[in-house]
Structure 1
Amino acid sequence: MSKRVLITAGGSGIGRAVAEAFEATGARIWVVDVDGTALIACPAAWRKSRLDVTDEAAVSHVFEQLEAEWGGLDTLCANAGVAGPTALIEDIELEAWRRCLSVNLEGIFLFAKYAVPLMKAQRSGSIILTSSTAGIFGYPNRAPYAASKWAVNGLMKTLAMELGPFGIRANSICPGAVEGPRMERVLAHEAAIKGTTRDAIYEGYARGTSMRSFITAKDIGAMAVFLASDAARFVSGQIIAVDGHTENPDPKV
């Protein structure tokens, strides 16, 4: 029987790549996203829901629909997140701080909260959280983002301990610098803060990895498929970086 996979922020970027990777295995795909235009552009065969991941009523409704249509859930990929402000701590507004933590942490909490009962009932499941290498290192100029991603990894560790007796696994994927629009915005902001060029910041990030390269969203999709597979049946509670081995999160330019 094909796996039933729910992906948050699945309309574009990493989430879409994860959905495509699972689709290639024959899985049934349900994507949620706040961006309705991105959802329209997704394949017709995918089940789609537009919502804000911090809206508990909307999240609850999706799970009611999912249970009615699918009868359960095999894999939750809690991927939704925002970059938050790129600024020095003294220049960050409280509302921007709260919004970043709300989406990046509370969104995961809500989807886990409603996915777990379905998985417990079937005594199986895989929960995959999209964290970041910012959840492993401190990142200058990214205080709310780094704080949220450390919290994501802590939540994952707790989920793994709580849910293991029910045959449910939990893991975090920590992408490094991922090619795409979001990283381009970060590069531009850091260049402005440091008074240098986008290319200099890009090269600094690349030099901070042993493989001297950014990654792609497809690399994250491949790891998610592995973590949800039987090949990873005893992989749980792990923080797995897909980043080309980041050594220096503060690019020197």
Structure 2
Amino acid sequence: MSGRVLITAGASGVGFAMAEAFARDGWQVWIADVDGAALAAAPENWRKTEMSVTDESAVSALFSEIDATWGGLDALCANAGVAGPTAAVEDINLQDWQACVAVNLEGAFLAAKYAAPMMKAAGRGAIVVTSSTAGQYGYPYRAPYAAAKWAVVGLTKTLAMELGPHGVRANVICPGAVEGARMEGVLAREAAAKGMTRDQVYEGYASGTALGAFVEGRDVADMAAFLASDKARMISGQVIAVDGFTINPDPQL
């Protein structure tokens, strides 16, 4: 199957890898991102929108444009996320908490809110939400991130229940530690918070998995493309980890 896919935070990292995977499978790709420079550098044949997933008016306008341009949407990858603060819970201020939850949870909600009517009208569609292994095990020193990533699991399971009768599926991907610039920032902050070196934190993450390695963006992207395809036509409401099998969520503790 090929079709029309929207990927939020699609201009870099895991989102960009998702866009490449869908494009290879023959899908029409539309990416949305806050990073205008990264959008400009993306392939010219992808449609692109610069926006924040927390701006409801921008999200509404994007879906109106998708409907006018494509006449519908076959898959949504609600992938936007931010790491949020790295600190003990008593040291996290409410503003930082709210900013993290807004992108990770409310961004997914808004994308699903506007995708659902289009998919229900078509009688088919697939929603893939990016959570994290933090949404399965918790995450020391990352309370807002873990809370939001747990919440998107509940949101997606509810979407699967609500939209299933209309032929629409919804699933969650929980990546483990993904190689890349975003994770490097996490490693640096966690090293500072825990009094460790970057390499010690890195090795702790890797050794906490059965496969002893970090995930690459393409690993997550391939799962997203599969879940959106007809090969996964009877898979809905599932939480699928792409993490090398986490056996110890935080070996440093």
Q: Could you tell me which residue of structure 1 aligns to residue 129 of structure 2? A: 129
Q: Could you tell me which residue of structure 2 aligns to residue 141 of structure 1? A: 141
Gaps of 5+ in 2: none
Q: Deviation above 3 Å: which 4+ runs of structure 1?
A: none
- TM-score, L = length of structure 2: 0.99
Q: Could you tell me which residue of structure 2 aligns to residue 44 of structure 1? A: 44
Gaps of 5+ in 1: none
Q: Could you tell me which residue of structure 2 aligns to residue 221 of structure 1? A: 221
The alignment covers a number of residue pairs equal to 253
Q: Could you tell me which residue of structure 2 aligns to residue 105 of structure 1? A: 105
Q: Which amino acid aligns with 1:150?
A: W
CA distance in 1, matches of 2:247, 2:211: 10
Q: Could you tell me which residue of structure 1 aligns to residue 187 of structure 2? A: 187
Q: Does structure 1 retain, via aligned residues, the 8 Å contact 2:169–2:237? A: yes
Q: Which amino acid aligns with 2:244?
A: G
1:2–1:250: structure 2 CA closer, same or farther, 3 Å change rule? closer
Q: Any idea what SS the aligned residue of 1:11 has?
A: coil
Are 1:95 and 2:89 an aligned pair?
no
Alignment of structure 1 residues 1-253 onto 2, 5 Å: 2-252=2-252
1:8-63 C-alpha deviation (Å, 9 max, x unpaired): 00000000000000000110000000010110010000000000101011111111
CA distance in 1, matches of 2:116, 2:161: 13
Q: Does structure 1 retain, via aligned residues, the 8 Å contact 2:2–2:229? A: no
Q: Does structure 1 retain, via aligned residues, the 8 Å contact 2:204–2:251? A: yes
Residue 222 (structure 1) shift: 0.3
Residue 247 (structure 1) shift: 1.3
Q: Which amino acid aligns with 2:144?
A: P
Q: CA RMSD in A?
A: 0.9
Residue 194 (structure 1) shift: 1.4
Residue 248 (structure 1) shift: 1.0
Q: Any idea what SS the aligned residue of 1:213 has?
A: coil
Q: Any idea what SS the aligned residue of 1:136 has?
A: helix
Residue 251 (structure 1) shift: 2.4
- TM-score, L = length of structure 1: 0.99
